[in-house]
């Protein structure tokens, strides 16, 4: 079993008070000390999964792990993951700036995205970002122009759409043919020709693909490796071009509920390594450098969100709603993707009696702001601390200020110690960028 197959952080336990503890910290105390909603990240769980990835891919020394920052990007988590030897996939000037400020070796950073702006690309070049994944013809031209004006040569990968369908939510599928991301297979030659003939400030080092997210199938990674290696071999024949890098993207799933059965990191690694060995032999190429960009599987399991239970409503002969003090602004995934989560009452962690089937409602002004439907909890009541598991990925990073509610605080826990890594927004923060116009006050 690897960490992505656990619903709860690896250090989750019940202490002598019957409270849920994480990283040796009583979560009820954390809620009291820092307020709720509160994102809690367990350092041990993050380190464990990073190490599992490294061990699983040991048999392929030319592997390069790049954490996909979009899952969660803060200075502290970046530094923690960098310490484990990972590089970083970034998709905006904001993520780029964060990893730079975190002190990351910029040669280990890859800049992705389907519509990077002039300013973002300029910043990436100024910061000597290791690779830029060029997504389309418009970008190739702009990137070459910026690089030329700075008298620099930029190493790029070509993002391609391999035409692989995976069984995940339509909105998080990216490798299928009708996708906004990357070059279609039929456009690659044209792009390569332009790079070789016209774009003298671009150096093409390899190909990049990403098939989707929250993936439970292993075979599609086999297919992806095959397609990328085949393309590299074909380009070698056609253009005498020796590309020696492929980037497989991210995608490994995690276990949000008992119904989820993601493969282990070891299973994914074994499939990828076998696929590489096969393809290398079949297409007679030297073993390429292989990047992988896991996001969710690195950070999701380490994170939980603590909420305080407030009001409740029993619909006559219908649903019992229990409302918490957060919701779709700190976790938009249930309303966006119908994502499901598991939860526990932190102050009743070993209660198994008085179970009631309830629906956890958020506090935001939309009927769709429901965090969990029909969950069994022990007599939930006002003041209880509800812990929702597996919220480390795509919660904070997709959070908003909807209803003008302050964004939540985030703490890192380890060895019974807790440290704030992102402050809770204040009411003053909320209005700090508002401009007061003359004559309106
Ligand atoms: N690389 C590329 C090019 C990507 O587009 C993504 C995710 C990743 C890596 C990381 O994938 P992961 O290992 O995290 O699955 N907001 C959605 C997920 C969107 C994923 C977008 N791309 C959600 O909350 O489920």
Q: pLDDT 10s per residue in the chain (441 long)?
A: 999 999 999 999 999 999 999 999 999 999 999 999 999 999 999 999 999 999 999 999 999 999 999 999 999 999 999 999 999 999 999 999 999 999 999 999 999 999 999 999 999 999 999 999 999 999 999 999 999 999 999 999 999 999 887 666 555 556 667 788 999 999 999 999 999 999 999 999 999 999 999 999 999 999 999 999 999 999 999 999 999 999 999 999 999 999 999 999 999 999 999 999 999 999 999 999 999 999 999 999 999 999 999 999 999 999 999 999 999 999 999 999 999 999 999 999 999 888 999 999 999 999 999 999 999 999 999 999 999 999 999 999 999 999 999 999 999 999 999 999 999 999 999 999 999 999 998
**CA-CA distance, 295 to 44, in Å (whole number)?**
17
Structure tokens at 154: 């930029």
Cα of 212 from ligand 1 centre, angstroms: 7
Pocket-testing residue among 92, 253, 293, 338, ligand 1, by greatest number of atoms within 8 A of Cβ = 293
Helical (H) or strand (E) element with 271: helix 265-282
Structure tokens at 173: 């599928």
User: Looking at ligand 1, which atom is closest to the CA of residue 159?
Assistant: 3
Pocket-testing residue among 181, 224, 249, 399, ligand 1, by greatest number of atoms within 8 A of Cβ = 249
Cβ of 256 closer than 6 Å to ligand 1, yes or no, is no
Cα of 5 from ligand 1 centre, angstroms: 18
Cβ of 392 closer than 6 Å to ligand 1, yes or no, is no
**Can you list the alpha helix ranges (DSSP code H) found in 150-264?**
188-197, 219-239
Q: How many CB atoms lie within 10 A of CB 52?
A: 20
Cβ of 71 closer than 6 Å to ligand 1, yes or no, is yes
By annotation, the residues acting in catalysis are: 365
Q: How many CB atoms lie within 10 A of CB 119?
A: 10
Cα of 249 from ligand 1 centre, angstroms: 8
**CA-CA distance, 317 to 312, in Å (whole number)?**
15
**CA-CA distance, 364 to 358, in Å (whole number)?**
18
The residue with tokens 């997504």 is 135
Cβ of 112 closer than 6 Å to ligand 1, yes or no, is yes
Cβ of 294 closer than 6 Å to ligand 1, yes or no, is yes
Cα of 177 from ligand 1 centre, angstroms: 17
Distance from the first to the final alpha carbon of the chain? 61
Q: Look up the pTM and report it.
A: 0.96
Cβ of 77 closer than 6 Å to ligand 1, yes or no, is no
Cβ of 95 closer than 6 Å to ligand 1, yes or no, is no
Cβ of 172 closer than 6 Å to ligand 1, yes or no, is yes
Considering only CA atoms, which of 311, 321, 301 is closest in space to residue 384? 311
Pocket-testing residue among 252, 296, 300, ligand 1, by greatest number of atoms within 8 A of Cβ = 296
Residue nearest to atom 19 of ligand 1 (CA): 172
Instruction: Answer for the pair 342, 258: CB distance below 8 angstroms, yes or no.
Output: yes
Pocket-testing residue among 69, 168, 251, 340, ligand 1, by greatest number of atoms within 8 A of Cβ = 251
Backbone angles phi, psi at 399, to 5 degrees: -75, 160
Beta partners for residue 386, in sequence order: 307, 345
Cα of 394 from ligand 1 centre, angstroms: 9
Produce one character per residue of 328-354: b if its CB has 16 or more CB atoms within 10 Å, e if not: bbbbbbbbebebbbbbbbbbbbeeeee
Residue nearest to atom 21 of ligand 1 (CA): 172
The residue with tokens 């005498």 is 240
**CA-CA distance, 331 to 304, in Å (whole number)?**
11
The residue with tokens 């076998």 is 274
Cα of 359 from ligand 1 centre, angstroms: 28
Cβ of 336 closer than 6 Å to ligand 1, yes or no, is no
The residue with tokens 């938009």 is 332
Cβ of 21 closer than 6 Å to ligand 1, yes or no, is no
Cβ of 380 closer than 6 Å to ligand 1, yes or no, is no
Residue nearest to atom 17 of ligand 1 (CA): 172
For 44-138, strand residue ranges (E) read 63-68, 87-90, 109-111, 131-134
Maximum C-alpha span of the chain: 74
């Amino acid at each position: 079993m690897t960490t992505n197959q656990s619903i709860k952080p690896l250090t989750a336990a019940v202490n002598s008070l019957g409270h849920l503890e994480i990283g040796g910290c009583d979560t009820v105390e954390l809620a009291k000390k820092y307020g709720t909603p509160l994102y809690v990240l367990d350092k041990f769980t993050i380190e464990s999964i990073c190490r599992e990835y490294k061990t699983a891919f040991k048999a392929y020394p030319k592997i390069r792990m790049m954490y996909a920052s979009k899952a969660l990007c803060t200075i502290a988590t970046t530094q923690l993951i960098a310490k484990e030897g990972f590089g970083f996939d970034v998709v905006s000037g904001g993520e780029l700036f964060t990893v730079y400020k975190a002190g990351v070796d910029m040669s280990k950073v890859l800049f992705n995205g389907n519509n990077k702006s002039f300013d973002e690309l300029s910043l990436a070049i100024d910061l000597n970002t290791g690779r830029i994944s060029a997504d389309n013809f418009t970008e190739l031209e702009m990137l070459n122009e910026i690089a030329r004006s700075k008298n620099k040569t930029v190493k790029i990968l070509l993002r391609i759409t391999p035409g692989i369908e995976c069984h995940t939510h339509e909105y998080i599928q990216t490798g299928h043919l009708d996708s906004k991301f990357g070059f279609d297979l039929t456009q690659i030659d044209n792009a390569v020709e332009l790079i070789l003939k016209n774009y003298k400030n671009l150096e093409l080092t390899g190909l990049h693909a990403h098939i989707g997210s929250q993936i439970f199938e292993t075979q599609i990674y086999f297919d992806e490796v095959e397609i990328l290696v085949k393309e590299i071999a074909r380009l070698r024949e056609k253009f005498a071009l020796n590309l020696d890098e492929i980037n497989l993207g991210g995608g490994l799933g995690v276990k949000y509920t008992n119904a989820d059965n993601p493969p282990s990191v070891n299973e994914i690694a074994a499939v990828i390594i076998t696929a590489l060995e096969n393809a290398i032999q079949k297409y007679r190429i030297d073993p390429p450098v292989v990047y992988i960009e896991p996001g969710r599987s690195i950070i999701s399991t380490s994170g939980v969100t603590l909420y305080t239970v407030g009001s409740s409503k029993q619909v006559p002969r219908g649903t019992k709603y229990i409302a918490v003090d957060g919701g779709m602004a700190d976790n938009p995934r249930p309303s966006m993707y119908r994502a499901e989560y598991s939860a526990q009452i932190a102050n009743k962690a070993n209660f198994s009696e008085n179970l009631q089937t309830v629906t956890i409602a958020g506090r935001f002004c939309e009927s769709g702001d429901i965090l969990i439907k029909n969950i069994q909890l022990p007599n939930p009541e006002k003041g209880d601390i509800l812990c929702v598991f597996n919220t480390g990925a795509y919660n904070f990073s997709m959070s908003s200020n909807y209803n003008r509610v302050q964004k939540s605080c985030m703490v890192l826990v380890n060895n019974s110690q807790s440290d704030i890594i992102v402050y809770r927004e204040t009411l003053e923060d909320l209005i700090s960028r508002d401009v007061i116009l003359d004559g309106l006050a």
